[in-house]
């Protein structure tokens, strides 16, 4: 078999018969640059600077990001800025910027703005810069899931050895191996974020990739269980509901869920079963966290009504301490938005998330429509595969966002990397779909001509 290229068409010659296979011409990214970006993704999620103190001392991750930023501007094709999500992201960033100088706790707001918002926004910028095709997306998601696999392995070893599990709120709770995911809820949230990718990428994967996805899924569910995170327990139900909504074989899905529950529930230790039941009964062994959350809600509502335009980025604890003598943060993303960013923040964040979900739904729906038209065309096999991947990842990000919105009921995720991760992938997917559509239109016009 001989393989050679003609523009954006690859001609395969097999046994003397020639067939044309059409492929989309995506922006070209140097493989070395792509691998450098993937290395940054692994280094960031595994917090290499924390694990290797000498790298932390020289601010390795900052230098790495600075190098990638220069390369993104100098060595990658111009970014397509036509994605309809861009105005909403810029407005979201503007709302946050405005709330820094007017904050009731300027020092804290400035630290969060620099160390979290700006730093995490660069992840979205890097995704948009370096992930320009389905092939690039495979590399990026491979790096992301590899980092999550490593943390999942550390969680398993940490539980078995006892190094990462200790008593909290009356039960033994698993903690993460790095500061970012040190809290059980944060560690469980990281693990939950892998499940949409495991589920939606499964049908497209070969047996080797499926084996890896299966291990990631099992390790992630292990983390969710042993962190004792009621937030994550609720998130599981939200994700299962979304997966049920998207599946074409609902009877089979229900059967698999019933079987999974029947096999797994007897193996769940009683402490974690009681932990799950406490979601509905509000009864706990220790800690009185449910009562504390109710008190936070009451305090947050009073502070919001007194400061309808917000108290500033991450300034709620200081304001609460001054007014009520209680300094805990909101432990709720929606209260975090309301108290920190005010009415304008609620509107802008709501519009941005709504628009992002709308774009992802469009990508998912459009990809399916194109697949119906192209699936029987042998010359478009590569385009079909690209569309299947785009559709699967769009579904994954919708599931990822639904999980974050659910986990936000019990956690403070407004300034976390999750939103920038979703924003970056949404931009990339939209650009890919537009490239595919335009390429198919050009091919059709060429055929007619």
- Are the CB atoms for 391 and 363 separated by under 8 Å? yes
Assigned domain for 146 exists: yes
Q: Are residues 263 and 401 in the same domain?
A: no
Supply the range of the domain harboring residue 294.
84-114+288-449
Shared-domain flag, residues 299 and 448: yes
Residue 228 CA to residue 250 CA, distance in Å, equals 30
| Of 437, 395, 431, residue with least CA distance to 136 | 431
Dump pLDDT digits (tens) for 232-281.
Answer: 888 888 999 999 998 888 889 899 889 888 888 888 888 888 887 777 66
Same domain assignment for residues 378 and 307: yes
**425 and 381 belong to one structural domain:** yes
Give the pLDDT confidence of 89-109 residue by residue, as tens digits.
999 999 999 999 999 999 999
Contacts of 102 (CB under 8 A, 6+ apart): 312
User: Could you give the percent of the chain with pLDDT greater than 70?
Assistant: 90
- Closest to 380 measured CA to CA, from 441, 438, 429, 440: 440
Q: What is the per-residue pLDDT across 349-403, written as a single tens digit (0 to 9) for each?
A: 999 999 999 999 999 999 999 998 886 666 688 889 999 999 999 999 999 999 9
**Is 328 within a domain?**
yes
> How far apart are the C-alpha atoms of 374 and 274, rounded to whole Å?
51
Radius of gyration of the chain (CA): 24
When pLDDT is cut at 50, 70 and 90, the band that residue 284 belongs to is low
Return the sign of the alpha-carbon dihedral for residues 191, 197, 203, 209: negative
Beta-bridge mates of residue 12: 3, 19
* 220 pLDDT above the threshold of 90: yes
175 and 68 in a common domain: no
Q: How far apart are the first and last CA of the chain?
A: 31
What's the CA gap between 376 and 243, in Å, rounded? Answer: 27
428 and 294 housed in the same domain: yes
The helix (H) or strand (E) run that includes residue 18 is: strand 17-22
């Amino acid at each position: 078999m001989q393989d050679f290229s003609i523009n954006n068409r690859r001609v395969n010659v097999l046994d003397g018969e020639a067939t044309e296979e059409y492929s989309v011409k995506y922006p070209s990214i140097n493989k070395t640059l792509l691998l450098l970006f993937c290395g940054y993704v692994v280094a960031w999620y595994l917090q290499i600077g924390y694990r290797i103190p000498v790298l932390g001392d020289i601010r390795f991750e900052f230098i790495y990001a600075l190098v990638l930023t220069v390369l993104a501007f100098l060595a990658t094709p111009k970014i397509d800025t036509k994605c309809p999500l861009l105005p909403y992201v810029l407005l979201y960033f503007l709302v946050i910027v405005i709330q820094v100088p007017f904050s009731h706790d300027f020092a804290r707001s400035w630290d969060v703005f620099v160390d979290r918002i700006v730093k995490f926004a660069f992840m979205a910028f890097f995704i948009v810069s370096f992930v320009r095709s389905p092939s690039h997306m495979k590399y990026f998601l491979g790096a992301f899931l590899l980092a999550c696999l490593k943390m999942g392995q550390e969680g398993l070893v940490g539980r078995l050895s006892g190094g990462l599990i200790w008593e909290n709120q009356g039960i033994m709770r698993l903690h993460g191996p790095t500061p970012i995911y040190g809290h059980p809820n944060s560690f469980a949230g990281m693990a939950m974020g892998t499940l949409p990718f495991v589920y939606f990428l499964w049908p497209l994967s070969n047996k080797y990739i499926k084996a890896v996805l299966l291990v990631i899924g099992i390790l992630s569910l292990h983390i969710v269980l042993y962190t004792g995170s009621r937030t994550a327990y609720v998130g599981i139900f939200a994700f299962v509901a979304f997966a049920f909504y998207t599946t074409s074989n609902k009877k089979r899905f229900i059967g698999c869920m019933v079987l999974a529950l029947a096999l797994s529930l007897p193996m769940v230790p009683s402490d974690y079963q009681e932990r799950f039941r406490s979601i509905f009964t509000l009864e706990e062994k220790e800690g009185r966290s449910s009562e504390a959350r109710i008190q936070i809600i009451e305090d947050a509502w009073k502070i919001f009504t007194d400061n309808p335009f917000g108290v500033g980025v991450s300034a709620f604890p200081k304001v609460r301490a001054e007014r009520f003598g209680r300094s805990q943060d909101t432990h709720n993303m929606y209260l975090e938005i309301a108290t920190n960013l005010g009415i304008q923040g609620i509107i802008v964040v709501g519009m941005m998330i709504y628009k992002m979900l709308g774009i992802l739904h469009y990508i998912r729906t459009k990809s399916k429509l194109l697949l119906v038209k192209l699936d029987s065309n042998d010359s478009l096999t590569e385009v079909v595969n690209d569309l299947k991947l785009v559709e699967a990842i769009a579904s994954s990000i919708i599931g990822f966002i639904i999980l974050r919105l659910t986990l936000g009921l019990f956690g403070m995720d407004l300034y976390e990397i999750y939103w920038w991760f979703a924003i970056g992938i949404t931009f990339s997917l939209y650009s890919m779909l537009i490239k595919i559509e335009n390429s198919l239109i050009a091919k059709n016009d060429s055929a007619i001509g």
